[in-house]
């Protein structure tokens, strides 16, 4: 029982760090992803030839 408890205790801070990172950089990452996708789909005709 203590083994599971220790794993959970080390997992919770990692989860909080990931969640905080997404909160801080989420809008920037989403913006980059959207801009990349728009660029990709805009340039498909020139990539094909």
Q: Rounded to whole angstroms, how far apart are CA atoms 34 and 39?
A: 9
Q: Rounded to whole angstroms, how far apart are CA atoms 33 and 37?
A: 6
Residues 6 or more apart in contact with residue 29 via CB below 8 angstroms: 22
Only one residue has tokens 């801080």, namely: 24
What is the reported pTM?
Answer: 0.52
Instruction: Provide the 3-class DSSP secondary structure of residue 49.
Output: coil
Please report, in tens digits, the pLDDT of each residue of the chain (49 residues total). Answer: 566 677 778 888 999 999 999 999 999 999 999 999 999 999 999 988 7
């Amino acid at each position: 029982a203590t083994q599971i408890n220790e794993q959970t205790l080390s997992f919770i801070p990692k989860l909080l760090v990931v969640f905080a990172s997404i909160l801080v950089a989420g809008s920037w990452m989403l913006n980059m992803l959207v801009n990349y996708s728009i660029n990709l789909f805009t340039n498909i005709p020139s990539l094909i030839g």
